[in-house]
Structure 1
Amino acid sequence: MLLLATGLLAGCANIAATPAGTPLADMESRYGTPSYTCTRPDGARRVVWSQLPSGSYAWGTDLDAQGRAVRMQALMSPEHFALLRQGDWTPEAVRCEFGPPGRVGAVGLGEKHEVVWSYYYVLDDRWHSVMYVYLGPKGDKVTHYHSGPDQRYQRSE
Structure 2
Amino acid sequence: MHQRSVLLRACSVALTLSACVQPHQQIQPGADEAAVISRLGEPKETYDLPNGGKRLMWPTQPMGTTTTVADLDSSGKVLSMRQVLQENEFYRAEVGKWTRNDVLVNFGKPFETSYFSRMKREVWSYRYVENNINHMIFHFYFDDQGVLRLTQKTPDPDRDPSMRGRF
TM-score, shorter chain, exceeding 0.5: yes
Structure 2 residue runs without a partner (length 5+)? 1-18
1:99-149 deviation digits (Å, cap 9, x = unpaired): 11111112351xx2210000100111111000000111x261111212110
Query: Which residue number corresponds to residue 147 of structure 2?
Result: 141
Q: How far apart in 2 are the matches of 1:31 and 1:79?
A: 24
Cα distance, 1:87–1:21 mapped onto 2, change above 3 Å: farther
Distance in 1 (CA, whole Å) between partners of 2:145 and 2:109 is 14
**Greater length-normalized contact order (CA 8 Å, ≥ 6 residues apart):** 1
Q: Report sequence identity in percent.
A: 26
2:145 & 2:159 partners in 1: Cα distance? Answer: 28
CA RMSD of aligned residues (A): 2.0
* Pair 40,65 (structure 1): closer, same or farther in 2 beyond 3 Å: closer
Distance in 1 between residues matched to 2:146 and 2:37, nearest whole Å: 32
Aligned length in residues: 144
> Which residue of 2 is the match for residue 153 of structure 1?
159
Looking at structure 1, the residues matched to 129 and 154 of structure 2 have their Cα atoms a distance apart, in angstroms, of 11
Distance (Å, rounded) in 2 between the aligned partners of 1:105 and 1:84? 19
2:135 paired residue number? 128
Cα distance in 2 between the residues matched to 1:86 and 1:143 = 5
1:115/1:139 contact within 8 Å kept: no
CA contact (8 A) 1:63 1:70 kept: yes
The equivalent of 2:23 in structure 1 is 15
Match of 2:57 in 1: 48
| Corresponding position: 1:35 with 2:41 | no
Q: Which has the larger radius of gyration?
A: 2
